[in-house]
Structures are given as C-alpha cells and as structure tokens.
Amino acid sequence: MQYWLMKTEPDVFSIDDLKNAPGQRAGWDGVRNYQARNFMRDGMRMGDQIFFYHSSCDPPGIAGIAEVCKECYPDPTQFDRKSEYYDPKASSAKPIWYMVEVKFIEKFPRLVTLDELKNLQAKLGDFPLLKRGNRLSVMPVSPAHWKQLLKFCK
C-alpha cells in the first residue's frame, strides 16, 4: 500500500464534488505533466490512499482522503479535439497521458491548511508538498508522514 497527495482546484473539482459524484467516484483526467503521470501510471495501485489537496484557493490545504479505485488507463481527453486537454501528438495506438479513478473516503472535519502543514514541518521533516517551487500535482507521501499527518488532520 502506498500513499499519495493529489492537488485540485476546488473551483474545478472539490472534495464535495467527489463526495457527491455518482458512486462517490471520479476519474482524475487532465494531468499533463510527465512526472505526475509517471506516479499515476507506475506507482498508483488499487487501494492506495490519497490526501485530497485543495490548491489555488484561500486557504489552500488538505481537505480529506480518497482511494485509488481504478488503476491507470489512457486519458480519453487527450484524443478529444474539443477538450482543453487535447494533445495532437497522442493517438489511441500511442497514448501519452494516463489517468486513474479515485473513490471518496472521507472529508476532514476542517481543512488542514498549508500554514498548519508548514508549522508541522519541524516535527515531520521535509514534506515534498512544501518544497520550494514545487508544482507537482501528484506526489508520493511516505508512510511515516501519512500516519502523522492523518493523526493531525482528524
């Protein structure tokens, strides 16, 4: 079992949107960064747990937990000319971008803000999310960090 953190803009797709989605499941399409793609394609397996992070909002922070409920498959938006995620270099024979599906697990009683995470850094040590200039939308979380953050978030 592995642990992850995934960013999303709540204006576009929030933890409540996931909670209210059919079957409380949703596809994580639109990732167009190779490193993030590789984490989804090569790292994410059924049942992996995910911190659901709200970014580009006030305040940003961890909103809850999701779980991988379907492993990677080609992201159909890359073939869709009308999609903002359309990629002319991709073909169904040679897809470039992949996505997973995630399932709602829980929403925390309150958003655990980026500020609080920064304050925890002294105790937890380096957390990839807090690295300067980090823009990855999908990143691994170590089991130790997961455990401690979870305790703090609940």
Q: Taking contact as CB under 7 A, which single stretch among the options 11-19, 54-62, 65-73, 146-154 is the one that binds DNA?
A: 54-62
Task: List, in order, residues 6 or more apart from 80 with CB less than 8 Å away.
Answer: 86
Residue 120 touches DNA, criterion: CB under 7 A? no
Q: Is there binding between residue 88 and DNA (CB under 7 A)?
A: no
> Is residue 25 a contact point for DNA (CB under 7 A)?
no
Alpha helices in 31-84 (DSSP H): 34-38
Piece of the chain touching DNA by CB under 7 A; list 21-29, 31-39, 72-80, 99-107: 31-39
**What's the closest the beta carbon of residue 154 comes to DNA, in angstroms?**
22
Which residues are 138's β-sheet partners?
6
Beta strand 25-27 with 98-113 is: antiparallel
Q: Which stretch binds DNA (CB under 7 A): 16-24, 27-35, 44-52, 119-127?
A: 27-35
35 binds DNA (CB under 7 A): yes
3-state helix, strand, coil in the chain (%, to 5): 30, 30, 35
Compare residues 23 and 122 and give the one whose CB is closer to DNA: 122
Q: Does 41 bind DNA (CB under 7 A)?
A: no
Q: State CA 88 to chain mean position distance.
A: 25
Write the CA distances from 153 to 107, 112, 117, integer angstroms. 10, 6, 10
Report the residue number, 21 or 57, with the smaller CB distance to DNA: 57
The 123-152 site mask, x for binding DNA (CB under 7 A), equals: --------xxxxxxx---------------
> Number of C-alpha atoms within 13 angstroms, CB side, residue 3?
14
Q: Are 50 and 102 in contact (CB under 8 A)?
A: yes
By the criterion CB under 7 A, which residues form the site for DNA?
7, 9, 32-35, 55-58, 60, 114-115, 131-137
